[in-house]
Structure 1
């Protein structure tokens, strides 16, 4: 009993270090997300160059996600995370240094943005397998909910604060903040005592298989496991919906709710509703998961999310819209947190990085831009922003039908709730 208590105390301390590393890293990334496009536009005055930085930051997950997942399942995850953090810090530091010397160019910023995001893909792949190894699958939902809450809080606070700083100061020196947070994240990961991967398994896999074989093995597992496939589809439909909502939020607020995109404090309320919903979900999901189990919670949260999306569509007053958006954000985040942790529970330890990186590529890497593109396409033909949001709600309907026609229904009847 004493050894168990000591192990749990060590795990708690290591998880706090892990959580601090994630929060610190996300904070720096959010600073760069705001500052880099502003910096490129100041350097070039070109919308094309400014959009290029967004493309450069989005491409690496689609290009390298499969390889990064395979590498993370066969290598020391802690070492990969350290290499990613410390190399990112070095790359980012070149921007304020070049700015101070008067030699900073847009291609330089573009290369750094692409390089840092590529390193993030490596870090994220290792991170997906590290958390279940660190806390154990029984504590995974609670642990991931805490991580989700910390990152959501950062997403609520950091972009507007960075926007204010960019308005009163040059953006290039702010990139030093991201370099510092990447370094701090690496030091925190380095201080974690417990292992983040199983050395025996990774050594055997390196000796027995190639990266190409590991990729095929991960894709084969995803292809044959219906529950994992359904959870990935659910995540994708929710990413499509959130992409459509984010793309249409400003025109919807302006044309339907009468909330101007600038100079009107109510736009900040509408923007914050989704994030507040995420914070609420991070507190609710562990309790709901323990009471109902992952499969039953998924089946209940999906139609709830669909109904909340319909409530947003029907809102014509900004207060009703803000409340509906917050409710939708809560239901949306409940689906996402539960889907990720339920998928991690049923995925074998030696496949964690490959499966979760692949699913993130599909759901986030494809779903978000697809939702935004669909919403934009329908409004280009003269349709209202509500019709654009409706394309995302229709995607949610597909997710509900797929989930209720899947093995999740059988799991919800046969699998008891978590103790």
Structure 2
């Protein structure tokens, strides 16, 4: 660098070169300035690789295309394109702080995470408000059930196709799209209240649209969140996301019923505000390396990009990519077993909840609410301690037997306290394992197929949840509350024994093959 600089010849105003001695003196001064302004590699923030400071981070850089360098912040709130190393060292940090891409990442994650909580609270509130509105309009429990079914039907119809689309478009753009139209759906109901009374077809259409957009939003969030943190922060980020989901469950469901009791339009007004807040969180998110102009361009072209992605998925391409997602999941033994276990355990615990609700006629609303809230409390506690859990097969085996013990409490004790303990235990264990499974998906699955793999897994799990409600009702109708809980425990115990025996026999077979002849 010094040798090349010493051969530079600058001309005076008369057009003649300066003396060599003066040129060399200037070169020495420039070199000394550079040495003073250089930030040593050891001065990088903890967890922030040097590449994040020089703007040459790879595909994991948020806002940068694979293979291209990201733009960096100069500490004054503006962003600059990556410069050559010679000029990069000459830059002096602006007053008020040094360059810190890690802080930009954390700020972006916090905005998206906060927006996700607002969105989840809205979703849980609407899950209560739509059936209650249908019941208030018609007086028919059957139509209230149809409103609830309309909310969950898109899970069965669109989860896997949504995963294919999310893998092909910018997830932030898709989240902006979904939040905008979810807000418009509840706003349309508010206008209907102002003009008169909403019709039942309007309620069902809004509920179906809410369920459909929720599917796309959750998958886009799954694809976006890992890109906002460093690799070593993924598990902690997934734990925060899981905690937010359980907080939304605890807050949203009782809030929906409480606000609907005040006035039928109140929960929808709140949800319109929450969706707007969630959208503003996404609009305010600036990724590391993204200029304000780039952010405006992304927001302006969000809908156009989604439309282009939908057109590309017409016909056989959609089916082929859906099958590709199934194959990618099947390639990982841990994910195969995790999907099988979570499907069974979700079926069991949600059937148990339905059994409790069906047999709760003699209980006070407070007792019912506390039992149902216990699962959410367990989820918050479990996800809070989840960063220490590593995805291993033994983890799945342990969860299965904890489920057996939890169901035994509900089966052997008729008091609501035993049901509450069962849901608390299953919520705690389930949240810890959810974080471990999501972290494994992010680390082991090809990022270009992550949404498809997640969609296949969630389709199986939520399909079991949809089956749990009618199954619980049938069991209570046929055997009563206590006997239905006992049969559920026996079924779970039989499954656990079968899995344990299979694992034991497999271990014996493997040991036998390793013994010398």
Asked if these proteins are the same fold (TM beyond 0.5), I'd say yes
The correspondence of residues 309-328 of structure 1 with structure 2, limited to 5 A, is: 309-328=407-426
Residue 349 of structure 1 and its aligned partner are, at CA, apart by: 0.7
Segment drifting more, 387-396 vs 101-110: 387-396
Q: 2:169 aligns with which of 58, 66, 75?
A: 75
Q: Matched residues in 1 for 2:428 and 2:182: separation?
A: 33
Question: Residue 367 in 1 paired to residue 464 in 2?
Answer: yes
Correspondence for 2:267: 174
Report deviation, 1:108: 0.5
Deviation of the 1:72 alpha carbon: 0.5
Mapping for residues 142-157 of structure 1, pairs under 5 Å: 142-157=236-251
Look up the match of 1:275: 376
Structure 2 CA distance for aligned equivalents of residues 308 and 404 of structure 1: 21
Matches within 5 A, 1:215-230: 215-230=322-337
The 1:188/1:61 distance shift into structure 2, 3 A limit, reads same
2:131 is equivalent to residue 34 of structure 1: no
Does the CA-based 8 Å contact 2:359-2:476 persist in structure 1?
A: no
Q: Which residue of 1 aligns with 2:155?
A: 61
Change (3 A) 1:335 1:348: same
Give 3-state SS (helix, strand or coil) of 1:104's partner.
coil
Aligned to 1:140: 234
Q: Per residue, is there more helix in 1 or in 2?
A: 1
Matches of 1:281 and 1:92 in 2, distance apart? 33
What is the TM-score with the length of structure 1 in the denominator? Answer: 0.84
1:185-264 equivalences under 5 Å are: 185-194=278-287, 210-252=317-359, 260-262=362-364
Q: Which runs of 5+ in 1 are unaligned?
A: 255-259, 411-419
CA deviation digits over 1:358-391, x for unaligned, max 9?
1101111x11122333332233223444424642
Which residue matches 1:413? none
Rounded to whole Å, the distance in 1 between the matches of 2:496 and 2:230 is 29
**Alignment partner of 2:113 out of 6, 9, 19:** 19
Distance 1:338 1:374 in 2: 29
Q: Which residue of 1 aligns with 2:453?
A: 355
C-alpha distance in 2 between matches for 1:20 and 1:132: 15
Per the TM alignment, residue 231 of structure 1 is displaced from its structure 2 partner at its CA by: 1.1
Deviation at 1:100, TM superposition (A): 0.4
| 1:43 and 2:142 aligned | no
Aligned to 1:109, the other structure's residue is in SS state helix
How far apart are the structure 1 equivalents of 2:117 and 2:150? 23
How far off its partner does 1:123 sit? 1.3
Mark the structure with the bigger radius of gyration.
2
- TM (norm. structure 2) is 0.69
Q: Which has the higher contact order (CA 8 A, sep 6+)?
A: 1
The CA distance in 2 between the partners of 1:172 and 1:10, in whole Å, is 39
Q: For residues 236-290 of structure 1, what are the alpha-carbon distances to aligned partners after superposition, in whole Å with 9 as ceiling and x for unaligned?
A: 0121012211101134556xxxxx3335x3333322221111111011211233x
CA contact (8 A) 1:156 1:275 kept: yes
Bigger CA drift: 102-111 or 185-194? 185-194
Residue from 434, 438, 448 that aligns with 1:340? 438
The residue number in structure 2 matching 1:414 is none
Where 1:273 maps in the other structure, the secondary structure is helix
Cα distance in 1 between the residues matched to 2:152 and 2:103: 38
The secondary structure found in structure 2 opposite 1:186 is helix
Deviation of the 1:46 alpha carbon: 1.8
* Aligned pairs, number: 392
Matches of 1:390 and 1:175 in 2, distance apart? 40
Q: For 2:370 and 2:132, locate their aligned partners in 1 and report how far apart those are by CA, in whole Å.
A: 24
* More moved, 234-243 vs 132-141: 132-141
Equivalent pair of 1:135/1:143 in contact (CA under 8 Å): yes
Structure 2 residue matching 1:316: 3-state secondary structure: coil
For residues 386 and 334 of structure 1, what CA distance do their matches in structure 2 show?
A: 30
Q: In the TM superposition, what is the alpha-carbon distance from 1:73 to its structure 2 partner?
A: 0.2
The CA RMSD over aligned residues, in Å, is 3.1
Deviations 1:174-226 (A, max 9, x none): 21211221122122122222389xx9xx999x989933332221122223433
Does the C-alpha gap of structure 1 residues 393 and 282 become closer, same or farther in structure 2, counting only changes over 3 Å? farther
Partners in 1 of 2:431 and 2:494 — Cα distance? 16
The structure-2 alpha-carbon separation of the partners of 1:48 and 1:251, relative to structure 1 and needing over 3 Å to count, comes to: closer
Cα 1:395/1:192, change in 2 over 3 Å:
farther
Task: State the distance in 2 between where 1:288 and 1:126 align.
Answer: 25
User: Counterpart of 2:212?
Assistant: 118
